[in-house]
Amino acid sequence: LQSNGCGPGFAEESTNSEEQAMIKIAGNSYLTSPSLPDFCGCSPGWSSAFYGAECFDSEVHSYLKNLGKQKSSESQNIDAKKVELEQLLMIETKNYRKTIKFYQKLLQKERRSKGPETKSMLPKLRGQLQEMKSKVQFLELVKKYQMMYAEQWGVESYVLPTVIHSGKADTRDMAPEDESSLLLYYNTEKHQCNNQNGGRVLQAGTPLGLMAYLYSRNAFLEGYVQQFLYTFRYFCTQEEFLKFLLDRISSTLSSASLDPSTSLTKICNRSFYILQAWIEDCYSVDFATNTDLLGTLKEFISSKVASLNGYGERLLSLLEDASARKSGSADLSSGVDKCEEESEEGRKTLHSLCKKLSEDVSRKNFYWKLSKGVGPVAQHQRERLHSGSAVLPRPCCSSFTAESSVSLARADEVGPVLLIECSAQQLCWQLTLLQQEVFNKCHPVHFLNSRALGVKDKCAAVPKAVSSETVSLKVCNLFLSKCIQDQYLLQLLKNADSISTWVAAEIVTCHTTKRQVSLLSKFLLIAKCCYEQRNFATAMQILAGLENLIVRQLPAWKILPAKVAEIMEELKAVEVFLKSDSLCLMEGDRFKTLPTIPSAHVLAMHVQQLETGGFTMTNGAHKWTKLRNIAKVVSQVHAFQENPYTYAPDFKLQSYLRQRVTHFKDADISALAADNCANFHQIPAEKHSRKIQDTLRRMKATFQ
């Protein structure tokens, strides 16, 4: 990992002004006692796991360092930093929203009147919007950097053995462990950052050592904490991890003094931050599915922490909020902190406007395949991106139009007529919203250890004859045997399989070849529209339905228009592109501005490929480099969930689509096709009669 400007001076920027007990130590770092207002939003997020130490560059660090400086003395004022940053972000965001609305009005005016003055203003306004957008995103990144208060309580590497022993009841007869017996590093010359490890990068570690490294200085900033939260189930259970944290809190809570520079105080406070980050990011996959784990945590907080430390009430509040959100909402990308709800809603509103701008700007020249990020791209990456995507077609995005409200009867009475009457874009939008609803409920952890759930390569993703409750976890289980695994991935793949079956069933149940041609064309156009809008999940589901063996043999393919038939090859090219690289959708900055839904099955296969091979070295240490790569790949799930589609929902059309999918989800395509004569090649009557006569003549000759 290469880090830019993320040295120990970070602690200087993340201190809290409400606690006046500041102690200056070596390296111009400041440590403060914890306070309740700062104990919020400490989850590093997907970007930390994906970018690692490069998530925050030196520009972010320098900008935050200069915030809140008093002109007279140039001294640091932490409270001024917070106030100034919030004000700047609020002002820039408000101006950005106003400018986008003005841009949209001009765009509508230009479409109606096409005046020369409006045309000349639009390009200038677009340039201003791009600058304002970049500034808002930069300020949001600075705010996220500032909120990582947990780095105040990081310890040096030589203190890590103390972290381990601090949770043990009796350490008198135990020999002190050396760091080298817990963690293995490798040296690199690429490190320019003056961090605790210098040029050392973590390579492997024992389960105890990897848990202890969470307390290491800059573990939050370098992405280790988020990567650990995604992957720790490969080497320890949820109960073991919780016990490790609670033991450290128990042994240090009473002895933690007001002096924030002591190791015990740091270990105690860091434990609370790690625990909070775990709750914020993984409540749905670890605590919501394990009532015993949740009960143990609540009991510990209520009995031992709440009466001694303000963290206790805060953690209980976080658990209640997370539970309410889990039961009442499927939005996993938002935090569990009440204090962030209003700003989160504002961010989503801003993002929806930002997305519309991106679509307007990129409508005429838009290649989603090629990386056009702001930052530099290595030459070999450029060559790979251009060569890997050259076979893909150029999307042609039409402008948004008002969707007509459709009066629907029962889906089984209407049949496929509505599919033909509605435009491909209308159906694409509503199928995308339905797919987004399912995708937003998944978590990066759901894509780990999928072999144990029976997920296999193409045509065997979800065993239909075996329910998710009866899937054997004994074969190919990479998690520890006592580790509880949420099986939502099976539900996600079953939904994908239902869409594919529905597509095939709608086609084979058409009673005329002409109707089949119309429906084939419609599904191909829907799939094309979906992948152009980066909804690769639905596009690949439609492709799977069209590649059904029965569907591929239909006579309708021979009379399909050539231009429409070419879309089938385009979809296959997209499928090859998605399978070529596990991070192909994360290249450049497109995924940050344009919504994306990946193919769940393709992503699961990429993770399985990374899981191939041993997880441990000859000395028993777990390969952290392997786990880090897995965390980076699955982190894109949260990245895509942060960027939602904002199409206007047509609930009647969605209800119709749901009913049709449900109606055909378990259908036998071969049986449906057998009842329809349009699915067979028709032989002319005279030719058919002549064949029968020739057959009878040959049979008669054999008896003579």
> What is the average pLDDT across 434-449?
97
Of 5-9, 171-175, 259-263, 266-270, the one with minimum mean pLDDT is: 5-9
The full 3-state SS of 163-193, as one line of letters, equals HHHCCCCCCCCCCCCCHHHCEEEEECCCCCC
Q: Determine the Cα–Cα distance for residues 660 and 503; give it in Å rounded to an integer.
A: 10
* 471 inside domain: no
Q: Are residues 561 and 445 in the same domain?
A: yes
Q: In whole angstroms, what is the distance from residue 479 CA to residue 285 CA?
A: 14
Residue 130 and residue 215 in one domain: no
Partnered with residue 187 across adjacent β-strands are 200
In a domain, residue 407? The reply is no
Q: Is position 607 within any domain?
A: yes
Looking at the structure, tell me whether residues 222 and 97 fall in a common domain: no
In this prediction, residue 278 carries a pLDDT of: 95
Evaluate if residue 20 carries a pLDDT over 50. no
| Domain residue limits at 300 | 151-167+199-325
Domain end: 281, 296, 325, which one? 325
Q: List phi, psi (to 5°) of 59.
A: -65, -40
- How confident is the model over 504-516, as a mean pLDDT? 92
Rounded CA gap, 389 and 391, in Å?
5
Give percent of the chain with pLDDT exceeding 70.
71
User: Residue 9 domain-assigned?
Assistant: no
Q: What is residue 13's predicted lDDT score, i.e. its pLDDT?
A: 37
Residue 620 lies in a domain: yes
Q: Is 411 a domain residue?
A: no
pTM given for the model: 0.76
217/79 same-domain check: no
Structure confidence by residue, pLDDT tens digits, 175-191? 456 677 889 988 765 44
CA distance 673 to 504: 10
Mean pLDDT of 528-536: 97
Percent share of the chain, pLDDT over 90: 41
Verify that 138 and 103 share a domain, yes or no: yes
| Structure-model confidence comparison of residues 463 and 243, the more confident one | 243
- Choose between 520 and 589: higher pLDDT: 520
Task: For residues 135 and 270, state if they share a domain.
Answer: no
Q: Give the tens place of pLDDT for each residue, 542-582.
A: 999 999 999 999 999 999 999 999 999 999 999 999 999 99
The pLDDT score that the predictor gives to residue 527 is 97
Q: Are residues 489 and 503 in the same domain?
A: yes
Q: Count up the domains in the chain and report the number.
A: 3
In angstroms, the Cα distances linking 593 to 130, 180, 334, 588 are: 11, 44, 18, 11
Instruction: Kindly report, residue by residue over 195-206, the tens digit of the pLDDT.
Output: 445 578 899 999
Domain annotation covers residue 247: yes
- Domain shared by 587 and 440, yes or no: yes
Give helix 224-231 / helix 624-634 axis angle, nearest 10°: 90
Q: What average pLDDT does this structure show over 237-248?
A: 96
Q: Are residues 585 and 652 in the same domain?
A: yes
pLDDT interval class at 81 (50, 70, 90): confident
Q: What pLDDT is recorded for position 76? A: 55
pLDDT of 193 strictly over 70: no
In the predicted model, is pLDDT for residue 471 greater than 60? no
What mean pLDDT comes out for the span 419-442?
Answer: 95
Residues 48 and 162 in one domain: no
- For residue 35, pLDDT beyond 90: no
Q: How confident is the model at residue 588 (pLDDT cuts 50, 70, 90)?
A: confident
Q: How confident is the model at residue 17, as a pLDDT?
A: 33
Distance CA 630, CA 626 (A): 6
Q: What is the pLDDT of residues 106-163, one digit of tens each?
A: 877 777 766 666 777 888 888 888 888 888 878 877 777 766 677 888 999 888 988 9
Res 114: pLDDT: 60
Terminal Cα-to-Cα distance of the chain (whole angstroms): 85
Place of tokens 């002002």: 91
State which of 325, 352, 372 marks the end of a domain: 325
The candidate with the shortest Cα–Cα distance to 663, out of 408, 406, 405, 414, is 414
Examine the fold and report which residue of 325, 359, 377 is the final residue of a domain before the chain moves on. Answer: 325
- Structural domain contains residue 298: yes
Instruction: List the one residue out of 546, 666, 541 whose CA is nearest residue 600.
Output: 541
State how far Cα 389 lies from the chain centre: 23
Spacing of C-alpha 439 from chain mean position: 9
In this model, does residue 367 exceed pLDDT 80? no
Q: Name the burial class of residue 158, with classes exposed (0-12), middle (13-18) and buried (19+) by CB atoms within 10 angstroms of its CB.
A: exposed
115 and 162 share one domain: no
Contact 212, 24 (CB under 8 A): no
- Which CATH number covers residue 242? 1.20.870.10
Q: What is the domain-level CATH number for residue 551?
A: 1.10.840.10
* Lookup: tokens for 54: 């490069």
Average pLDDT, the chain: 77
Name which residue leads in pLDDT, 689 or 400: 689
* Together in a domain, 139 and 221: no
Hey, what are 629's tokens?
Answer: 């790569």
How far is the CA of 231 from the CAs of 294, 448, 625, 626, in angstroms?
Answer: 20, 8, 11, 10
The predicted pLDDT at position 83 comes to 79
Least confident of 266-280, 651-665, 672-686: 672-686
